[in-house]
A = this chain, B = another copy of it.
Amino acid sequence: MSKRIAGPEIERLIQLLAKVPGLGPRSARRAALHLIKKKDQLLAPLTAAMGEALDKVRVCSTCGNVDTSDPCTICSDPRRDPATLIVVEDVSDLWALERAAAMNVRYHVLGGTLSPLDGIGPDQLNIRTLVDRVAAGEVKEVILAVNATVEGQTTAHYLTDQLSDLDVKVTRLAHGVPVGGELDYLDEGTLTAALKSRTAF
């Protein structure tokens, strides 16, 4: 805003809200105003929830997930099959797989992908802890659920190599047509992969 129309506290709130993904400078103003108007119903409980997250959230020392306990809820859940480990790049991938609720297993969060140009080598990712976890013997299968990008696939190859000496099956997610997807809109790589991995009807 060109001239001061409100106290610096409100300007600062807007500036910080604009950094939240999903909000831009314009929607941050709208969000700030909404929060201020709904002081008791939204601003107060949200501030409290954020303060609690700030206090309690930590990274799980076993799998790299974020949670309010360490080991995290997933690592400490005795009903999860300890023989299968899904390796993901990021916590958001873990959450996505949990929403699909396809498998009742544990995870390992790498914290990114190998990217030498950005200075991200094996030591910057949670790879050592993964090898140690697998070497401990309980894990029988490691599913590499990394993104189907160049960096993701490079990382997958590196991990396969690191795990090759251990008694563990290494698998990866299937490539194919997304459920609900239209062939017309798919790229050639996906279509070729879907044809190659065709299954009996």
Q: Give chain A's interface residues, CB within 8 Å of chain B.
A: 1-10, 12-13, 16-17, 19-23, 27-37, 39, 42-47, 49-54, 56-57, 65-69, 72-74, 77, 91-92, 94-95, 98-99, 101
Contact = CB atoms under 8 A, between A and B. Distances in A.
A21 B17 CA distance: 11
A75 to B, nearest CB: 11
Contact of A72 (B6, B46, B51): B6
A42 B57 contact: no
Nearest to A49: B13
Nearest to A40: B54
Contacts of A33: 66, 91-92, 95
Contact of A49 (B12, B27, B45, B91): B12
Please report whether the interface of chain A is mostly helix, strand, loop or mixed according to DSSP: helix
Contact of A47 (B27, B51, B72): B51
Q: Which 9 residue pairs across A and B have the least CB separation, nearest first?
A: A7-B68, A22-B27, A47-B50, A16-B46, A13-B49, A5-B98, A2-B101, A9-B68, A6-B67
A43 B35 contact: no
Nearest to A69: B7
Contacts of A9: 49, 52-53, 56-57, 68
